[in-house]
């Protein structure tokens, strides 16, 4: 088969992993329980109004636009800062790419073990979620700035997923891969956030049932990180390529 075909599949595997990482970040115990608070803070709408079905319908445009500006804010940080930085680091470490990749793989495995709860890394427990703003800046620009602050003070237990994607981007040979991977990471986080903000009543009704499974979410997140770390260490993202080749052979 054409080697280009396998390169494309390998790249697709990285993109899907980044998208999945964004979704796992959203459902993590560090973010999901706070989503209603974020929506209320960003939109300036009280919980009483958010839980009033008629009130939400009237304020849907306000919720939609403020949520989109919030999403643009955190996407700006992830894509333009982390994505471009990954590219720069990739060029800086090109001579030591193999060493950096292996060290990063080990670190990501350890972070995955931490997320599962087998070991406890104290400084990763610090919380910097909404501490950037005591009061939300006014207007849609304010929602954008809150999104920037949300990303800049990203909860440490989500940091391992960001680290994994950053490492994959920094050790990849493809040009511009860092920006692309963080675009898809942001999409994986943004889509469920936007859907939740528009269906906040439904979310609040079912959240208590979902909340019971937060421990399982942490376990799945940790396993995701451990597998990613092992793949990075072994430089074996080709394994994903093999599965994709079996699933979608028509791409060839």
What burial letters (b/e) apply to 143-162, b meaning 16+ CB within 10 Å?
A: bbbbbbbbbebbbbbbbbbb
Tokens of 130: 């909404």
Q: pLDDT value at position 4?
A: 67
Q: pLDDT value at position 156?
A: 58
Measured at the CA of 155, the angle between CA 164 and CA 39, to 5 degrees, comes to: 120
Q: pLDDT value at position 169?
A: 84
Q: pLDDT value at position 70?
A: 93
Q: pLDDT value at position 251?
A: 46
Q: pLDDT value at position 252?
A: 45
Largest CA distance in the chain: 60
Q: pLDDT value at position 157?
A: 57
pLDDT in tens, the chain (252 residues): 556 666 676 777 788 889 999 998 888 877 888 788 888 888 888 777 777 777 667 788 888 999 999 999 999 989 988 888 887 777 776 667 778 778 888 888 887 887 787 776 655 555 444 445 556 667 788 889 888 888 876 655 577 788 888 888 887 777 788 899 999 999 999 999 999 988 887 787 777 676 677 778 778 878 888 888 888 788 776 566 566 556 555 544
């Amino acid at each position: 088969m054409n080697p280009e075909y396998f390169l494309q599949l390998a790249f697709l595997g990285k993109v899907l992993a980044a998208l999945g990482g964004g979704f796992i970040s959203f459902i993590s115990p560090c973010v999901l329980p706070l989503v209603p608070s974020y929506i209320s803070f960003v939109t300036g709408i009280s919980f009483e109004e958010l839980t009033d079905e008629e009130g939400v319908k009237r304020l849907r445009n306000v919720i939609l636009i403020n949520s989109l500006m919030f999403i643009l804010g955190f996407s700006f940080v992830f894509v333009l800062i982390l994505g471009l930085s990954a590219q720069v680091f990739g060029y800086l470490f090109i001579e030591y790419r193999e060493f950096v990749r292996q060290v990063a793989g080990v670190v990501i495995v350890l972070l995955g073990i931490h997320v599962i709860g087998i070991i406890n890394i104290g400084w990763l427990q610090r919380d910097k979620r909404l501490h950037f703003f005591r009061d939300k800046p006014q207007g849609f620009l304010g929602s954008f700035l809150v999104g920037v602050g949300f990303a800049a003070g990203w909860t440490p237990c989500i940091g391992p997923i960001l680290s994994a994607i950053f490492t994959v981007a920094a050790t990849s040979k493809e040009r511009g891969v860092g920006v692309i991977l963080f675009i898809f990471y942001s999409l994986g986080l943004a889509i469920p956030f936007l859907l939740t903000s528009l269906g906040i009543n439904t979310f609040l009704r079912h959240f208590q049932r979902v909340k019971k499974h937060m421990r399982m979410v942490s376990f799945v997140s940790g396993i995701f990180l451990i597998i990613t770390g092992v793949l990075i260490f072994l430089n074996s993202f080709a394994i994903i390529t093999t599965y994709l080749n079996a699933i979608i052979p028509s791409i060839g």
